[in-house]
Structure 1
Amino acid sequence: MKFSTLSVIAVALMSVAQFAAAESRIGFVNSDRLMREAAPALRAQERLEKEFAKRDQELQRMAKDLKGLQEELERNGATMAESERRGKERALTDLNRDFQRKQREFREDLNQRRNEELASVLDKANRTVKQIAEAEKYDIIFQEAVYASPSIDITDKVIKALSDVK
Structure 2
Amino acid sequence: MKLLRNLLLASCVMASFSAFADTKIGVVDIRAALFSSDAAKAFSESMAGEFKTQEMEVRAVQESGQKLQERIKKDAAIMSDTERTKLALELEEKAKEFKYLKGKLDSAVSTKKQAFIQESKPKVDQVLKDLVDSEKFDLIMPREAVVYSGQSLDITAKVIEKLNALK
TM-score (norm 2): 0.70
Give 1:162 deviation, angstroms.
Answer: 0.8
Alignment partner, residue 64 of structure 2: 65
Count of aligned positions: 150
Deviates more, 1:23-32 or 1:102-111: 23-32
Deviation string, structure 1 residues 27-48 (Cα, Å, up to 9, x no partner): 3323354145322232333333
Gaps of 5+ in 1: 1-16
Post-superposition offset of 1:83? 4.4
d(CA) in 2 for partners of 1:24, 1:121: 29
SS at match of 2:78: coil
Which residue in the other structure is 1:26 paired with?
25
Aligned to 2:130: 131
Contact in 2 for aligned 1:41/1:121 (Cα 8 Å) = no
Q: How does 1:8-157 map to 2 (within 5 A)?
A: 21-144=20-143, 145-157=146-158
| SS in structure 2 at match of 1:146 | coil
CA deviations on 1:65-122 (whole Å, 9 max, x unpaired) are: 1111122233334434554444333322222211111122222222222222233334
For residue 138 of structure 1, give the secondary structure of its aligned residue in structure 2: coil
Which runs of no fewer than 5 residues in structure 2 stay unpaired? 1-15
Q: Secondary structure at the match of 1:148?
A: coil
Bigger shift: residues 31-40 or 103-112: 31-40
SS in 1 for 2:20: helix
- Residue in 2 that maps onto 1:14: none
- Tell me which amino acid in the other structure corresponds to 1:157: K
Change (3 A) 1:132 1:44: same
Aligned-pair identity (%): 24
Of residues 55-64 and 106-115 in structure 1, the stretch that sits farther from structure 2 once superposed is: 106-115
Structure 1 residue 61 displacement after superposition: 1.2
Deviations 1:110-161 (A, max 9, x none): 2222222233334422221112212333332222223334444332222111
In structure 2, C-alpha distance between the alignment counterparts of 1:53 and 1:46, rounded to whole Å: 10
Q: If the length of structure 1 is used for normalisation, what is the TM-score?
A: 0.71
Q: Provide the rounded CA distance (Å) in 2 between the counterparts of 1:115 and 1:138.
A: 29
